[in-house]
Amino acid sequence: MTDTAHLSQILYVDDEPDLRMLAQLALESMGGMKVSLCDSGAAALQALATLKPQIILLDVMMPEMDGPALLQEIKKTPGLYNGPIIFLTGKANADEIVHLKSLGAFGVIPKPFNPMTLHNDVKAMWVAFHEQQ
Amino acid sequence: MSNNKTTYEAAYAKLRTAYITRLEGNITDLTKWIRDVSATPLSKEELLNMQSLAHGLSGSGTTFGFPNVTDAGRNADIFLEKMIRAIRGDDDFIKGDEHPEMLPLLQSIHDACREAVTNYKEQAALEIIPATHEEKLNFEAKKNLFVLIVDDDINLRNMISMKLEQRGFIAAGAGSDQEMIVSMEKRLPDLIILDLNLPDNSGHEVLRRLKSEPAHAAIPILMLTAAAKEADVVSALHSGASSYIVKPVDINRLSERVEKISANMRRTVLVADNDQLILALLQSKFKGRGFNVVLTNNGLSTFEHAQRVKPDLIILDIAMPGMDGISVLKMIRNDKKTKDIPVIIASAKTTPADIAAGMAAGAQDYVPKPFNADDLVHRSIALLKKEKANDT
């Protein structure tokens, strides 16, 4: 219960620098959260060795290791991260959402996201995750 | 919240400007592709480059307020993905003139980007820069200052909050050590008003803990004591409290004292970097901690700003147009008006020789890029505190 009340640590993984900056700005100033940024799957895996985010927001299409590949790496490594993984994708159609959830994603936020409401979307996912637990 | 919104909107405007610069770069690439697509066969690599650009635009355009860019990018992204699937190997080529959809799709992204850049520039031309910009910065800085009141007496907390909010501060209360910790996780205060006699943990212990944590040590603390016990006051000041007020609290004197302490905190930082995104991020982070922020993206104007504004601190990039950061730093150190201003270099040049050159030119600190903006702000505050201690 205390966990649901306080969402503060986010990890945002995206290869697009503009979107990383904007997502951080939107979530920190509008949502009062602390956002760590990674520009690739490899960087995210490295960061997770020390960071303990409460939610991971993950771009689907990235060069080298894409979002789904990173998710599989995270799930494969016991104790690395057990919280919800939310995908951000430009192809948020029903088939794609089912597919991403079957891989182990908790939810999907469509891209392009709205910076004014992104923090609400993320908070809603956080609450839903705890209701399901 | 409304205050966060102001900070957000200013930073968003900066990010949007940077996005426009990126679109201008994309227009250059698209113009070249449109020219070549019918004449030369396209390799898999070129198609992947096109798709990467189209995909990026489809995922970002609407976020920055340009839905046509997203639509055009998405159509091209879907088409190019099919083309890439159809290509048989790295040596295989696709002839653009055999795929009549190709040219109009590229053209439509080009036009959407062009339209976004034009609309943006027309809007920007209409915005008038206020003459009293510096005044405005001061007011905004004060509005940003966040005071946390830690006292178990809820009536006193509320009374102090109301008074400080009237004077333009943001105030919040905490009734215990635990509540204070929770509040500070949400937002670091710029000033703490701390009761020495808290129920769950003595104020002295809280004070010592705050002063021993690097992230909190720079926050000024105003102590409230139940009676003017000399030993208590001496011990509190010794532990790092900035000042004290004796209970029962005279609310007007308290708010004057807070104004006085915060006046010292309204310091100016000059940030020089040619990357608009870094400027926007640091502006938002420094403003959040009560600083006035002056920005520049050009080496030459950095020195002019330093002379004119006389900032308390300069964050300096090395690779900038106009003049490189090392030369700027040498000019700063050779000028009577600016020679004592502390400078932190933040640069992607990170070899030992680069760092040695920066420190030799007179930098106080050297932060390699990419940096964590929060860390840089903490370092800045610690450096300013050190400089102040050296002065007195």
Phi and psi dihedrals of B313, rounded to 5?
A: -160, 145
CB contact A85 to B (< 8 Å): no
CB contact B257 to A (< 8 Å): no
- The whole-angstrom separation of Cα B176 and Cα A75 is 40
CB contact B11 to A (< 8 Å): yes
H or E segment and range at residue A127: helix A118-132
B181-230 tens-digit pLDDT: 989 988 889 899 998 877 765 788 888 888 888 778 778 888 888 765 66
Closest partner residue to A21 (CB to CB) among B56, B77, B277 is B277
Q: B240 with B260: CB under 8 angstroms? A: no
How many domains is chain A built from? Answer: 1
Fill in the amino acid letter for B278: I
Mean model confidence pLDDT for chain A? 90
CB contact B13 to A (< 8 Å): no
Q: Where are the domains of chain B?
A: 2-126, 145-264, 267-391
pLDDT for B3: 58
Beta bridge partners of B168: none
Percent share of chain B, pLDDT over 90: 30
- The whole-angstrom separation of Cα A16 and Cα B50 is 15
B254-273 tens-digit pLDDT: 888 888 777 656 688 999 99
CB contact B62 to A (< 8 Å): yes
pLDDT for B230: 67
For B20-43, what is the mean pLDDT?
A: 89
CB contact A114 to B (< 8 Å): yes
DSSP state, A118? Answer: H
Same fold, B2-126 and B145-264: no
- Our CA dihedral for A70, A74, A75, A78, rounded to 10 degrees, sits at 160
For A110-115, what is the mean pLDDT?
A: 89
A51-66 tens-digit pLDDT: 999 999 999 988 889 9
Q: A121 with A79: CB under 8 angstroms? A: no
- ipTM, two decimals, is 0.78
What's the CATH number for B267-391? 3.40.50.2300
A133 lies in some domain: no
Instruction: Report the half-sphere exposure of B28 (CA within 13 A, side-chain side).
Output: 6
pLDDT for B57: 93
Is CATH 3.40.50 the classification given to domain B2-126? no
- B199 versus B80: the higher-pLDDT residue is B80
H or E segment and range at residue B365: strand B365-368
Residues of B in contact with A113 (CB under 8 A): 63
- The whole-angstrom separation of Cα B101 and Cα B276 is 36
A28-42 tens-digit pLDDT: 888 889 999 999 999
A132 lies in some domain: no
The CA distance from A109 to the nearest CA of chain B, in Å, is 12
Cβ contact A115–B63 (<8 Å): yes
The CA distance from A42 to the nearest CA of chain B, in Å, is 16
pLDDT range class, residue B138, cuts 50, 70, 90: very low
DSSP sequence for B266-278: --EEEEE-S-HHH
- The whole-angstrom separation of Cα B167 and Cα A54 is 37
What residue ranges in B179-265 does DSSP mark as E strands?
A: 191-195, 221-225, 243-246
Q: B225 with B212: CB under 8 angstroms? A: no
Cβ contact B11–A25 (<8 Å): yes
Architecture of domain B145-264: 3-Layer(aba) Sandwich (3.40)
pLDDT for B139: 42
pLDDT range class, residue B276, cuts 50, 70, 90: confident
- In chain A, the residue whose alpha carbon lies closest to the alpha carbon of B373 is A36
Least confident of A10-19, A71-80, A87-96: A87-96
For A103, the domain range is: 2-126
CATH code of the domain covering residue A19:
3.40.50.2300
CA A54, A57, A60, A62 dihedral sign is negative
Percent share of chain B, pLDDT over 70: 88
pLDDT at B172 over 60: yes
- The whole-angstrom separation of Cα B317 and Cα B272 is 6
